[in-house]
Amino acid sequence: MAALTRFPILAAALVQIFAAGVAIAAAIAMRGVVHGSAGSVVILLVQCATAVAMTLLLRLPVWWVWIAAGFPLALHLTLQGDHLQAWPFGVAFALLFLLFSNTAKERVPLYLTNRSTVTALRSLMEEKNATRFLDLGSGLGDVVRGLHGDGRIARGVETAPLSWLISWGLSKLRGRGTILRQDIWQTDISGEDVVYAFLSPEPMPRLWQKASREMKAGAILVSNSFAVPDVEPTEVWELSDRRKTRLLIYRMAGTHEA
C-alpha cells in the first residue's frame, strides 16, 4: 500500500487494470440479462465506479479520482467513435503533463493544501512571531495567497509549468504573495522563518539535508504528512480536518546541523 501511494501513476494504472477486470466479470455475469447499448452503459458505469472506489481506498489525491472516472469514459468514446478526433486527447495529455510533470521527475505529486492547514500555518506563524514564509513546491499557490499579508511575506516556488502559470496569475490578480518558477533544490531558504513542504516520502532526507545546511537557528521547517526519516519533530500538530492532516514541525538549530 505504501509503495502505491508513493507512486500515484503506478497506483492509477493498477486501479484501471483492476476496474477493467471487474467490468469484464460484470459483463459475463449479465450476459443475456442486459443487451445492446444499455448493457454497454452499465458495464462502463461499473468500471468507472470501481476505479473511483479503489482510488479513494488508496487515498490518492483528489484529482486522481477525476482521472479514474474519466479514463474509462475516454477510452470507451475512442473505441466507439469512428470519426472521433484525436486532438482533444492530445490536448488533455499535454495539460496533464504540464500540471503533474513533477510526479515523474521528482516523485512529488501535486498535493493541494486545504483551508484548515492554511489556518494552522497562519496560527503557527503568529505563535512563533514569524514574518517570512516559503512554500517549496507551492502547487496552485493557495498557501502563499492565504498567508501573505498582515505583516507576513509569503513566497512559493513551483516548477510544473501549468501549476506555476495558474498560481502566478492568481497571485498577481489578487496581489497576494509571490510565486517563482524555480527548482526547490536551487532555492535559497536561509532567510526564511518558516519553510513549508507538502511533497512525498521520497525527497524528505534530501530536504532535511538542505534545511540543516541553509536554514538559520530558530527557523522552522514544516512538513505536511511526511516525516523526516530518523529525525524526531519538535512538535506535531494534528488537525481535525477530513484528511486528518499532521503537520510535523522541525525547529532548526542552525547551519551545519547533524
pLDDT for res 107 = 47
Q: Evaluate if residue 258 carries a pLDDT over 50.
A: no
Q: Evaluate if residue 45 carries a pLDDT over 90.
A: no
Q: H helices of the chain, where?
A: 2-6, 8-29, 36-57, 62-80, 87-105, 115-127, 142-147, 161-174, 204-214
Percent of the chain with pLDDT over 90: 44
pLDDT for res 129 = 94
pLDDT for res 214 = 96
Q: Evaluate if residue 6 carries a pLDDT over 90.
A: no
Report pLDDT digits (tens) over 49-67. 998 898 888 877 666 787 7
Query: Is 3.30.1360.120 the CATH number for 115-251?
Result: no
User: Of the given ranges (35-44, 57-66, 99-108, 221-230), which has the lowest mean pLDDT?
Assistant: 99-108
Q: Evaluate if residue 126 carries a pLDDT over 80.
A: yes
pLDDT for res 257 = 43
Stated pTM of the model:
0.64
Cα–Cα distance, 235 to 231 (Å, whole number): 12
Q: Greater confidence, 26 or 135?
A: 135
Region 101-125: mean pLDDT is 74
Q: Evaluate if residue 132 carries a pLDDT over 80.
A: yes
Q: Greater confidence, 34 or 237?
A: 237
Cα–Cα distance, 158 to 25 (Å, whole number): 43
Report pLDDT digits (tens) over 11-34. 777 888 888 888 888 888 877 666
What is the secondary structure of 195-223 as a DSSP string?
EEE---STTHHHHHHHHHHHSPTT-EEEE
Region 106-118: mean pLDDT is 71
Average pLDDT, the chain: 82
Report pLDDT digits (tens) over 152-204. 999 999 988 878 888 999 999 999 999 999 999 999 999 999 999 998 888 89
- Domain spans of the chain, in order of start: 2-84, 115-251
DSSP state of 179: E
pLDDT for res 177 = 95
pLDDT for res 96 = 55
